[in-house]
Amino acid sequence: MPTLKELTSYEDRLAGGHRLCAGCGASIAVRQVLLAAGDNPVVAACATGCLEVSTTIYPYTSWKIPFIHNAFENAAATISGVAAAFTGLKRAGKVDPDKKVNFVAFGGDGGTYDIGLQALSGALERGHDMVYVCYDNGAYMNTGIQRSSATPKGAWATTTEVGPVHQGKQHHRKDLTSIIAAHGIPYVGQASVSHWRDLTTKAEKAFAVKGPAFLNILSPCPRGWRSEPDQTVEVARLAVKTGFWPLFEVEGGIWHRTVAVRELLPIEEFLKTQGRFSHLLKPENAELLAEVRADVNAYWEYVSFMCR
Amino acid sequence: MVTQKTVATTGNLFVAEAIRQALPDVIPVYPITPQTTVVEEIAKFAANGRIDAEYVAVESEHSAMSAAIGASAAGVRVVTATASQGLALMWEELYIASGMRLPIVMFNANRALSAPINIHCDHSDIMGARDTGWLILFAETAQEAYDNTLVSFRIAEHPDVLLPVMTTADGFITTHTVDRADTLDDETARAFVGKYKPTHALLDFDNPVSHGAFAGLGGPYFEFKQQQRRAIDGSLGIIKEIIAEYSAISGRPFDVVEGWGMEDADVAIVVIGSTAGNVRHVARRLRAQGIKAGVLKIRVFRPFPTAGIRDALKGAKAVAVLDRSDSPGAEGGPLYFEVKSALYDLDHRVPVVNYVYGLGGSDVRTELIERVYKDLGDIASGAIGPFDMTYLGCR
Residue pLDDT, tens place only, B310-335: 999 999 999 999 999 999 999 999 99
**pLDDT per position as a tens digit, B6-54:** 999 999 999 999 999 999 999 999 999 999 999 999 999 999 999 999 9
pLDDT of residue B1: 64
A7 at interface of B, judged by CB pairs closer than 8 A: no
Task: Report CB contact under 8 Å: A88, B215.
Answer: no
A122 at interface of B, judged by CB pairs closer than 8 A: yes
Task: Report CB contact under 8 Å: A57, B214.
Answer: yes
Task: Report CB contact under 8 Å: A118, B69.
Answer: no
CA–CA separation, B313 vs A7, rounded Å? Answer: 71
What residues of chain A lie within 8 A of the CB of B76, using their CB?
A: 85, 88-89
pLDDT of residue B334: 97
B25: nearest CB among A56, A92, A125:
A92
Closest-CA residue of B relative to A56 is B213
**pLDDT per position as a tens digit, B216-241:** 999 999 999 999 999 999 999 999 99
**pLDDT per position as a tens digit, B47-64:** 999 999 999 999 999 999
Reading chain A (308 residues) residue by residue, the pLDDT tens digits are: 778 888 888 889 999 999 999 999 999 999 999 999 999 999 999 999 999 999 999 999 999 999 999 999 999 999 999 999 999 999 889 999 999 999 999 999 999 999 999 999 999 999 999 999 999 999 999 999 999 999 999 999 999 999 999 999 999 999 999 999 999 999 999 999 999 999 999 999 999 999 999 999 999 999 999 999 999 999 999 999 999 999 999 999 999 999 999 999 999 999 999 999 999 999 999 999 999 999 999 999 999 999 99
Task: Report CB contact under 8 Å: A81, B78.
Answer: yes
Cα three-residue angle A186-A189-A192, rounded to 5 degrees: 165
B195 at interface of A, judged by CB pairs closer than 8 A: no
Q: Which domains does chain B have, with CATH numbers?
A: 4-250 (3.40.50.970), 257-392 (3.40.50.920)
**pLDDT per position as a tens digit, B270-315:** 999 999 999 999 999 999 999 999 999 999 999 999 999 999 999 9
Run of H or E residues at A104: strand A102-108
Strand partners, A254: A251
Interface test with A, best of B94, B102, B214 (most A CBs within 10 A): B214
Sort strands B135-138 and B300-302 into parallel, antiparallel or unpaired: antiparallel
CA distance B124 to chain A (A): 25
B212 at interface of A, judged by CB pairs closer than 8 A: yes
Helix (H, G, I), strand (E, B) or coil at B268: strand
CA–CA separation, B134 vs B139, rounded Å? Answer: 16
Q: Which domains does chain A have, with CATH numbers?
A: 4-306 (3.40.50.970)
CA–CA separation, A262 vs A241, rounded Å? Answer: 9
pLDDT of residue A6: 85
Cα three-residue angle B342-B344-B346, rounded to 5 degrees: 95
B63: nearest CB among A41, A53, A77:
A77
ipTM: 0.97
Closest-CA residue of A relative to B214 is A57
Nearest to B299 by CA among B183, B122, B80, B149: B149
Cβ atoms of A163 and A190 within 8 Å: the answer is no
Task: Report CB contact under 8 Å: B66, A81.
Answer: yes
What residues of chain A lie within 8 A of the CB of B26, using their CB?
A: 81, 84-85, 88
Interface test with B, best of A53, A80, A95, A120 (most B CBs within 10 A): A80
How much is the pTM?
Answer: 0.98
B210: nearest CB among A61, A85, A88:
A61
CA–CA separation, B62 vs A80, rounded Å? Answer: 13
